C-alpha cells in the first residue's frame, strides 16, 4: 500500500539567511526522502515546501524549528496544502535572484 502524500509550506523567521539554512534543508529533506524546494525571501525569511509521506514531511517540518548550527529560528509558520506531485528537492531562486535553480536528484 502506497503512503498517503501530504504537503506543508513553512515560513521560517529568525537568523536563517547566511547560515547555510537552504543547503542544510536540502540535505535534510533529501535524506528523509521528501520532495519540494527551499528559497530565501526578500524579507529575510526562508520558505520551504515539503511533499511526501506524512512521517517524513513532519520530520522535515520539525527540523526547520531548529535548523542548522548557526541559525536562530524565532518562529515557523506551517500551512497545509494539497500535494502537487513534486519530485526531487531543489534550492529555488529567491524572487529577486536571477540564478537558475539547483536540483538534487
Instruction: Give tens-digit pLDDT for 41-55.
Output: 999 999 999 999 999
In this structure, which topology does domain 5-100 adopt according to CATH?
Alpha-Beta Plaits (3.30.70)
pLDDT digits (tens, 9 = 90+) for 49-83: 999 999 999 999 999 999 999 999 999 999 999 99
- 0.85 exceeded by the pTM? yes
Could you give the residue numbers annotated as active site?
A: 22, 40
Place of cell 526547520: 64
Counting every residue written for the chain, the total comes to: 105
Name 78's bridge partners. 10
Q: Where are the domains of the chain?
A: 5-100
If you average pLDDT over residues 22-35, what whole number do you get?
97
Cβ neighbours of residue 39 closer than 8 Å, sequence gap 6 or more: 22, 46, 47, 48, 91, 92, 93, 94, 95
Amino acid at each position: 500500500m502506497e503512503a498517503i502524500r501530504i504537503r506543508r509550506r513553512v515560513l521560517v523567521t529568525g537568523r536563517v539567511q547566511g547560515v547555510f539554512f537552504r543547503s542544510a534543508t536540502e540535505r535534510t529533506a533529501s535524506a528523509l526522502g521528501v520532495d519540494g524546494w527551499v528559497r530565501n525571501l526578500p524579507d529575510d525569511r526562508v520558505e520551504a515546501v515539503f511533499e511526501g509521506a506524512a512521517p517524513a514531511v513532519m520530520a522535515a517540518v520539525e527540523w526547520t524549528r531548529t535548523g542548522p548550527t548557526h541559525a536562530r529560528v524565532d518562529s515557523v509558520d506551517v500551512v497545509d496544502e494539497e500535494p502537487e506531485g513534486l519530485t526531487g528537492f531543489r534550492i529555488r531562486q529567491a524572487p529577486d535572484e536571477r540564478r537558475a535553480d539547483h536540483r538534487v536528484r
